[in-house]
Structure 1
Amino acid sequence: MRQGTSVRVGRRLVQYAAHARGAIVAALVLLVLSVAAQLAGPFVAKTIINRDIEGVQQVWYQAPTGAHGAVVVQGKPYVRADRLPEGARREDPHTLLTLGTKGYFLPGSVTAIAPGPRPGEIREEVGGTWRVVSAQPISRAQMFAFYRPEVPNVIRLALVYFALLAASAAFLYGEQYLLQVSANRILQRMRRDVFHKIHCLPISYFDNTPAGKIVSRITNDTESIRDFYVNVLANVLSSAVMMLGIYVALFILNVDLALLACALLPILFAWIWLYRRYTVQVNLRVRALISEINAMLNETIQGMTIIRAFNREAKTAEEFNQMNQAYYDGQTRLLRVNSATGYNLAGVFRNLFFACIIAWFGWRALHLEPIVSLGVLYAFVDYLNRLFQPLTQVVNQLATLEQARASAARVFELLDQPGVEREHGSIPRFRGEVEFENVWFSYDGAHPVLRDISFKAKPGQTVALVGHTGSGKSSIMNLLFRFYDPDRGVIRIDGRDIREIPPQQLRQHMAIVLQDPYLFTGTIAWNVGLGDPRVSRDRIEQALRDVGADRLLRNLPGGVDEPVLEGGSTFSAGERQLISFARALAFDPAILVLDEATANVDSETERMIQQALQVLKRGRTTFVIAHRLSTIRDADLILVLDKGEIVERGTHDELMARGGRYRQMYELQTKALGVTAG
């Protein structure tokens, strides 16, 4: 994926996210609150350590009896210097310090202590000078007495700490919920747009694109995009906010330590750049292979009868295995990259960074430079641990991100296909006059399949189109329905150029019965009326009776409500044709097209349809594409096509009298039927 394409895909994903911006903004607010609550915790812990634990090791002064926070030592009350009442005299200073596990309460203001040369002696620093003094450690009970006044503060701050954790969890739940809901809403809109687009695409797109690939874009690719909004967006946003909050907290805590932690940022950016460089094309190929596998599966299922009839199972399996192996190789390559750049590498970076921090603190300690307090050090290590969590999350989402971008590129490619938007509304029913004037047409723009076609069908007439396979019969009907537009020439209905009529409105008063009818999953009644509220139940039943399908329904347990499986696989070809014919009639079209509609039915079923047609053709312009010339003897106009040109035209009797191509075709069919009959 080129950089420009990648940027456009990212912009489109953001545009879709804007449809749920209210929920996303609310989620971000909750995320910021959650991060703030989480990051406040180390500051609370730092306060507990520095003020209530480390804080007792300082100078204490004798205080009045009953002073708040006073500790009695040898019958005298002492108060910490930082809690001595304002204006009180600083008398009898003592310093509380620890050496290992022992505590000492030493007279005077002592800066630091160290082990002495002999038992019962310690070294103390006073005013920058070290000296050896005799000192005995205080008891554990006495040591705890110094900490006892701090216990209420510790408990209060601990409660604050747990309250912050609880608040953070509540905010995080709300943020995750809103982002999930937003992602589902975005994907719902995207699938709706894709499905809508499919109905706007020209028929040529479906002629050139396997159905499995289209289905893959609607299902697999959109699901991959869902992972982007649900996982990537949620994790990356929370990680970004968390990292930003951690850096803000680090700068508040200690600027030097924060600048040291900034060294991780270029590592992260380099990490992402290298990952994308090595995986973008692989992800695109993997998504394309998924579509190809779906297309092959769809084709195999649809053609299972032919595959078994011609013993192609082994060859089909070999082709599938090759495609499956290519998909496996692509996934394995991605797995190697993801394993190398995932959690383990993040752990290596974290450990190396901690080693550098330890070395830095050790160097400063050896050179007797000022070192941060224990509470600051604790908070820094805590933040550093927290910093690697979102960093690891971001890295672990790179694979999902690239897969989603590859899928999004394919979905947007479909959405960007040129199409015609559906226009709702209705137009008056056609009278049924159809005119082709000097029409030329080619599917590929280079090889014409129709050449200078001109004819006129008057309202109520039956026009038959005959000719060998590839002569252009079905192409004329494709143009009439505006599945395609002519390269040159004009097609008119009731004197109006059909290119001026929106396709959906044009087809409101037209119906077609194909040689190989398609039935949808549902019931017979639904397949006739297609769920259109304009087609009543009575109208559906009447159409079935008119085509003679009532005899079929008598043998079905559910009658008109008999279930229909996909494609109508439980019905015979003739039964499917009858239902398809009833579908066309139920919509009461002004123009009816029968595209070799009787080719797959037996003689008895064809006779029923022909009888129904005699009544149903009244008031309709009917086009019949037929190989059986015996079925079109009563047509008002017969057009004989050859290589995209009309070579003969007239009624059956006129064409037979002319003794041309039509008569040759008719006599060949009659002779063949005679031989068969004999």
Structure 2
Amino acid sequence: MNVGKRLYQYALLYKKTIILALIMLALAVGTELTGPFIAKKMIDNHILGIEEPWVMVENAGDDTVKYKGKNYVRAEYHEGDASEQPTVRILQVKLDYYFIDEPVAFDGERTIENGKMIIEKGEQRATYEVDELTNQQLLAFYQPEVKRLIYLSALYLGLMVIASFFTYGQSYLLQQSANRIIQRMRTDVFGQIQRLPVNYFDNLPAGKVVSRITNDTEAIRELYVTVLAQFFTGIIYIVGILTALFFLDVRLAAICSLIIPILIVWVFMYRKFASKYNHLIRSRLSDLNAMINESIQGMTIIQAFRRQKQTTNEFEKINEEYFRYRNKLLNLEAIMTHNLVNLLRNVAFVTLIWYFGGASLTVGAAVSVGVLYAFVDYLNRMFQPVTGIVTQLANLEQARVSGERVFRLLDREGEDVSNTTLPRYQGNVMFDDVTFAYKEEDYVLKNISFEAKQGETVALVGHTGSGKSSIMNLLFRFYDIEHGKIMIDGQDIQHMSRQDLRKHMGIVLQDPFLFTGTIESNVSLDDPSITREQVEKALKDVGAEPFINQLPKGFDEPVVEKGSTLSAGQRQLISFARALAYNPAILILDEATANIDTETEAIIQDALDVLKKGRTTFIIAHRLSTIKSADQILVLDHGRIVERGNHDELMEKKGKYYQMYQLQQGMKQSRTAV
């Protein structure tokens, strides 16, 4: 399973939005990177440009400066041919500026002695008469540059405003597409959960499944929102800055290019060590969610048996492991992120100082102050994306590990929802030599064979673990058999989709599950084919109307999670109504009356006598008095049918059923006597 490829495929679902966002990001970065070039132009051409040659002109203009009654203009601003005209210069020595009324043959190290400027370059030496400029005169020579500096400043500000719009747009579009991707991924994961067989959840706590849908997908969201933007920005920044550096100085740019292989090795080494910790962290986080979920579900038992301290200790143990692995990852990040970035930055600046040191910083050197400023600015900017990329390595690795966990769930073999519609079957059920094991070779059902005809009531009895519920699990195809056949109306259920099979089956469990909603929605399960009238009729038929009429909102009374505000008998009545509202051809009652008081049981028994007509009913019961009227009773022992027949026939045999019945009657009489 290639996680990166799968994540890329999800991104392709919204590729237009992502591509547009990345284009806007590239434009924002490109616009921002023009800053040092503009600053270089401002320094070299306009701030230090005052030292360029000036020519004398007759007429005053926008770019002319009046000095001692004469008009001067920079040679590059002169409209005519300035090459043949005599030039004057303004040169700086320390903090003072001097006017030289003649051309300067060469530039070099400048000194002032006895009111004269001496320029030396190697063995060359020249002396010039100079006039020191006052501050007012100096500002006059700078005056033509002010409007150009304002223009360039306005240009830079405008580019930054444009870049901010592009940055906002890319951030909004990337987050929107990331949220869409995660929405789609969560929908896929939740849909996959509906497709998975029940046995998948036997050994997987609910909290771990919740962690896949929430925590893991949220970590993946960070990949599309933050990591993708940071890596793409960093790559554009680094490429753009290196390109600019090559324009400024090839040798230093080549040295700075070494950051690329270093960064690649860096990422590889970090992932190698961080992968182990991230797997353990995500696993412990799932364990934490599972334990929290289990503790909340079992809070009544925990408090009733005073297990708060033990449960807290168990939680703290997992929490401590999570903390320990988090700390190890934190140490790794501390060593391999900002520390290494600072080291590389310092090495780069030492190289810059060494390269530009000594004669390179002297007047007349090949490198201008503007180039030096641009180099320093670009180096600073280059390490910003490097820091950003390195900082996001943790999120990248977490997203990769989370993606691996999510895709492992998505890759589990499931069954698609069938679009076919199977007509309501009659309900003739036949088990033909069925053998089944939840675990290999540990058979819980052995050579089970029986037939239940339409309209019959079949009761399954036996001690705990004898295989009663397993028969119902196989009939519902919660699990598939290894040997034998199960047929409904002569059709092998293995050749029927689970959806079609269960469409005409109803089940009532010993511990009914109610969803958050209303009584009405818990009966209809929001199925549009079940009308309000059908819901109310089903509730009346099972005898639930008396207690519903006492509720403030009647059929629309809110039901909280698991129906905890209702009694066990009331929840069971709603569960009965739910099964009956769907008008099943086959009805399964799995210990359905075990948690109901005698009065409620009598109400349900009366309703069942009417509702069992025309449909095949399977009853799993420990209380044998509730199945005396069953057409067929199957007695199971260690996965085998040891007796079969109706109540009277089995009592005459005086076998296992007779012993169980006599035992229960004796216990009942003992309780009555007491």
Q: Same fold (TM over 0.5)?
A: yes
Q: Which one of the candidate residues 283, 293, 298 is aligned to 1:288? A: 283
Question: What is residue 670 of structure 2 aligned with on the other side?
Answer: 675
SS in 1 for 2:234: helix
Aligned CA RMSD, in angstroms, stands at 2.0
2:43 is the alignment partner of 1:60: no
Bigger mean CA offset, 364-373 vs 383-392: 364-373
Contact 1:424 1:504 in 2 (8 A): no
Q: For the Cα contact (< 8 Å) 1:482–1:503, is it kept in 2?
A: yes
Q: Given residue 194 of structure 1, which amino acid in structure 2 is its aligned partner?
A: V
The normalised TM-score by structure 1 is 0.95
Tell me the equivalent position of 1:426: 421
Q: Structure 1's 137 and 477: CA in aligned 2 closer, same or farther, altered over 3 A?
A: same
Query: Corresponding residue for 1:279?
Result: 274
Deviations 1:598-653 (A, max 9, x none): 11111111111111011001111111111111111111111111111111111111
CA contact 1:109–1:126 (8 Å) conserved in 2: no
**Per the alignment, in what secondary structure is the counterpart of residue 443 of structure 1?**
strand
Counterpart of 2:207 in structure 1 is 212
C-alpha deviations, 1:568-588, integer Å up to 9, x for none? 111221111111111101111
Deviation, 1:524, is 1.1
CA distance in 2, matches of 1:454, 1:491: 9
Provide the secondary structure at the position in 2 that maps to 1:91: coil
Alignment partners' CA distance in 1, 2:41 and 2:348: 26
In structure 2, the residue matched to 1:148 is 143
The answer to whether the Cα contact below 8 Å between 1:212 and 1:298 also exists between their aligned partners in 2 is yes
- CA–CA distance in structure 2, aligned partners of residues 89 and 19 of structure 1: 63
Given candidates 413, 417, 421, the residue that maps to 2:408 is: 413
* Selected match of 1:371 from 366, 370, 388: 366
Aligned residues of 2:116 and 2:128 also touching (Cα < 8 A): yes
Following the alignment from structure 2 to structure 1, what is the Cα–Cα distance between the partners of residues 85 and 536? Answer: 110
Residue in structure 2 matched with residue 138 of structure 1 by the alignment: 133
- Between the aligned partners of 1:286 and 1:618, the Cα distance in structure 2 is 56
- Equivalent residue number for residue 623 of structure 2: 628
CA shift for structure 1 position 68: 5.9
How far apart are residue 80 of structure 1 and its match?
2.5
1:595 matched to which residue of 2? Answer: 590
1:128 deviates by 7.0
Answering whether residue 94 of structure 2 is matched by residue 104 of structure 1, we say no
**Pick aligned residue for 2:247 from 249, 252, 255:** 252
Instruction: Give, in angstroms, the shift of residue 271 of structure 1.
Output: 2.6
Paired AA for residue 38 in structure 1: E
Picking from 432, 443, 451, the partner of 1:448 is 443
Find the counterpart in structure 2 of residue 398 from structure 1: 393
Q: Per the alignment, in what secondary structure is the counterpart of residue 421 of structure 1?
A: coil
Which of the numbers 631, 640, 646 marks the counterpart of 2:641? 646
Which of 5, 9, 13 is matched with 1:15 structurally?
9
Residue deviations 1:282-319, cap 9 Å, x none?
11111111111111111112222222222222221211
1:640–1:647 Cα contact (<8 Å) kept: yes
Whether the aligned pair in 2 keeps the contact of 1:361 and 1:371 (CA below 8 Å) is: no
What secondary structure, in the 3-state scheme, does the structure 2 residue paired with 1:153 have?
Answer: helix
Within the candidate set 18, 21, 32, 2:26 is matched to 32
For 1:592 and 1:553, the matched residues in 2 are separated by 24
State whether residues 257 and 380 of structure 1, in contact with CA within 8 Å, keep that contact through their aligned partners in structure 2. no
| 1:247 to 1:118, Cα distance in 2 relative to 1, 3 A | closer
Distance 2:42 2:565 in 1: 78
Give the aligned residue type for 2:370.
Answer: G
- Judge which range, 34-43 or 139-148, deviates more: 139-148
Contact 1:110 1:124 in 2 (8 A): no
Question: 2: distance between equivalents of 1:109 and 1:132?
Answer: 10
- Write the distance in 2 (CA, Å) between the matches of 1:578 and 1:67: 100
User: Unaligned 5+ residue runs, structure 1?
Assistant: none
Letter of the structure 1 residue corresponding to residue 523 of structure 2: V
Aligned equivalents of 2:17 and 2:450: distance in 1?
A: 60
530-539 vs 135-144, which moves further: 135-144
Is the Cα contact below 8 Å between 2:40 and 2:374 reproduced in 1? Answer: yes
Q: Deviations over 1:84-113 (max 9, x none)?
A: 444456233222211122112222224225
Contact 1:113 1:123 in 2 (8 A): no
Q: Is the 8 A contact 1:95 1:110 kept in 2?
A: no
Partner of 1:483: 478
How far apart, CA to CA, are the structure 1 residues paired with 2:582 and 2:205? 30
Is the alpha carbon distance of 1:134 and 1:584 closer, same or farther for their aligned partners in structure 2, counting shifts above 3 Å? same
Q: Given the alignment of the two structures, is residue 72 of structure 1 paired with residue 66 of structure 2, yes or no?
A: yes
Distance 1:510 1:238 in 2: 57
1:564 Cα deviation after fit: 1.3
Q: Which range is displaced more, 299-308 or 111-120?
A: 111-120
Distance 1:130 1:456, change over 3 A: same
Residue 666 of structure 1: CA displacement? Answer: 1.4
Secondary structure, aligned partner of 1:641: strand
**1:44 corresponds to:** 38
Q: Which residue in 1 is equivalent to 2:355?
A: 360
Instruction: Give the C-alpha shift of residue 260 in structure 1.
Output: 2.4
Q: Confirm whether residue 192 of structure 1 aligns to residue 187 of structure 2.
A: yes
Q: Distance in 2 between matches of 1:458 and 1:402?
A: 59
Choose from 375, 379, 389 the match for 1:380.
375
| Aligned equivalent of 1:94 | 88
Question: Comparing 166-175 with 72-81, which one deviates more in the overlay?
Answer: 72-81
Structure 1 residue 364, shift from structure 2 partner: 5.3
State how many pairs are aligned: 672
Residue identity in the other structure for 2:14: A
**Aligned equivalents of 1:56 and 1:640: distance in 2?**
109
User: Bigger CA drift: 294-303 or 190-199?
Assistant: 294-303
Q: Deviations over 1:541-574 (max 9, x none)?
A: 1111111111211222221111212111112211
CA–CA distance in structure 1, aligned partners of residues 603 and 427 of structure 2: 25
Residues 126-167 of structure 1: per-residue CA shift (max 9 Å, x gap) = 997213444331222222222222222222111111111100
2 CA distance for matches of 1:459 and 1:442? 28
Question: Is 412-421 or 165-174 further displaced after alignment?
Answer: 412-421
Alignment check: 8 A CA contact 1:343 1:392 kept: yes
| TM score, norm. by length of structure 2 | 0.96
Name the SS of the counterpart of 1:375 in structure 2.
Answer: helix
1:617 matched to 2:612: yes
Deviation of 1:384 after TM superposition, in Å, equals 1.2
User: Could you tell me which amino acid in structure 1 is paired with residue 166 of structure 2?
Assistant: F
Code of the residue aligned with 2:575 in structure 1: it is S
CA distance in 1, matches of 2:661, 2:382: 85
CA distance in 1, matches of 2:123, 2:87: 17
Instruction: Note the C-alpha offset of 1:502.
Output: 1.0
Contact 2:117 2:127 in 1 (8 A): yes
SS in 2 for 1:656: helix
The residue matched to 1:290 in structure 2 has which SS?
helix
Q: Tell whether 2:316 aligns with 1:335.
A: no
Q: Tell me the residue number matched to 1:159.
A: 154
Show the counterpart of 1:461.
Answer: 456
Q: CA deviation at 1:114?
A: 4.1
Please state how far the C-alpha of 1:83 moved relative to its aligned partner: 3.3
> Which residue number in structure 2 is paired with residue 297 of structure 1?
292
Q: CA separation of 1:392/1:116 partners in 2, compared to 1, >3 Å: closer, same or farther?
A: closer
CA distance in 2, matches of 1:89, 1:434: 110
Instruction: Please tell me the residue identity of whatever aligns with 1:61.
Output: V
The one of 229, 232, 235 aligned to 1:234 = 229
CA deviations 1:3-33 (Å, max 9, x no partner) are xx6xx11221111111111110000110111
Please give the alpha-carbon distance, in whole angstroms, between the structure 2 residues aligned to 1:304 and 1:127. Answer: 90
Partners of 2:248 and 2:353 in 1: CA distance: 18
Mean CA deviation greater in 195-204 or 336-345? 336-345
The answer to whether the 8 A contact 1:461-1:621 is kept is yes
Counterpart code for 2:9: Q
Are the aligned partners of 2:55 and 2:82 in contact in 1 as well (CA < 8 Å)?
no
Deviations 1:158-183 (CA, angstroms, capped at 9, x unpaired) = 11111111000110000000000011
**2:53 aligned partner, one-letter code:** V
CA distance in 1, matches of 2:111, 2:49: 24
Structure 2: give runs of 5+ residues left out of the alignment: none
Local SS of the residue matching 2:131: coil
